[in-house]
Amino acid sequence: MDIQQVPSITCLDDLINQLRVVFQSDCVNVDYVRALLAAYKSNPKDWKQFAIFDPHRYVYVDFLKTVREREREFIRQTNIK
């Protein structure tokens, strides 16, 4: 497949379909794959189906935010630089 002839990629499904075609062959043109990936413009709507929010999994991240906020406040109060 020629890099100059990369099809229009309008959504994630188009990208997936094109990648499936490319990877059916034993010989894959890496530059063509890169060109396909570059042609895809990410759209949050494409990824919405993969986004799963579980509030129980993000406790650690919230904890780190709290720790960092307390560190900043401590630094402000003590004028440590």
Q: Each residue of 27-80: pLDDT tens digit?
A: 999 999 999 999 999 998 898 887 776 666 665 566 667 777 878 887 777 775
* H or E element, residue 76: helix 59-78
Domain count, the chain: 1
Q: What is the pLDDT of residues 7-22, one digit of tens each?
A: 889 999 999 999 999 9
CATH number of residue 67's parent domain: 2.60.120.10
pTM: 0.59
* Residue ranges making up the domain that contains 74: 3-78
Encoded tokens for 50: 């993969």
CA distance 13 to 19: 10
